[in-house]
């Protein structure tokens, strides 16, 4: 049986949850705004959060975190897939991210390492690129196709 999953924008009731999961994961919270942050639920229960900042047709994937009790069950992969689908639906064709700990995870999901200077100017000017993440963070990018799996419900085992 496939779990029912949902990706919804963080609202007031989710803000504390999102901040808690991000803090628990060692990720920054000060520069996030709720409209770009999403809560991922499985069978109605929140298990993680993630965000996309959109700048025209490019985007910044950020703050992908699964709460500790739900880790190791494939929810990080499913959450990232749902965020990629959201990006496609919003017209994003190229997605960037910075990570200090999860480069191998994102590489398994099709992201490739790239030079930080290769990111478009609007991405390099974000607070995450210019202030929050250290210069030693790995920069990665992925092109988003035109919707191979857009809109499809994802199970935690989808890659």
Q: For the domain bounded by 5-143, which CATH number is listed?
A: 3.40.630.30
- Encoded tokens for 103: 């480069």
For the whole model, what pTM was predicted? 0.86
What phi, psi does 4 have (nearest 5°)?
-80, 125
State yes or no: pLDDT of 149 exceeds 70: no
State yes or no: pLDDT of 8 exceeds 70: yes
Longest dimension (CA), the chain: 45
Residue 7 pLDDT grade (very low, low, confident, very high; cuts 50, 70, 90): very high
What are the boundaries of each domain within the chain?
A: 5-143
Q: Rounded to 5 degrees, what angle do the CA atoms 149, 151, 156 make?
A: 70
């Amino acid at each position: 049986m496939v779990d029912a999953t949902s990706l919804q924008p963080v609202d007031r009731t989710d803000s504390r949850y999102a901040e808690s999961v991000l803090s628990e994961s060692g990720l920054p919270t000060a520069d996030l705004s709720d409209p770009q942050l999403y809560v991922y639920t499985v069978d109605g229960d929140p298990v993680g959060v993630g965000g996309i900042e959109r700048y025209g047709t490019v985007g910044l994937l950020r703050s992908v975190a699964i709460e500790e009790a739900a880790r190791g069950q494939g929810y990080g992969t499913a959450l990232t897939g749902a965020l990629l689908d959201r990006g496609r639906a919003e017209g994003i064709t190229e997605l960037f991210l910075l990570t200090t700990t999860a480069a191998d995870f994102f590489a398994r999901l099709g992201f490739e390492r790239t030079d930080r200077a290769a990111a478009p100017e609007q991405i390099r000017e974000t607070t995450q690129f210019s202030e929050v993440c250290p210069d030693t963070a790995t920069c990665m990018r992925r092109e988003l196709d035109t919707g191979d799996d857009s809109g499809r419900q994802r199970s935690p085992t989808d890659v």
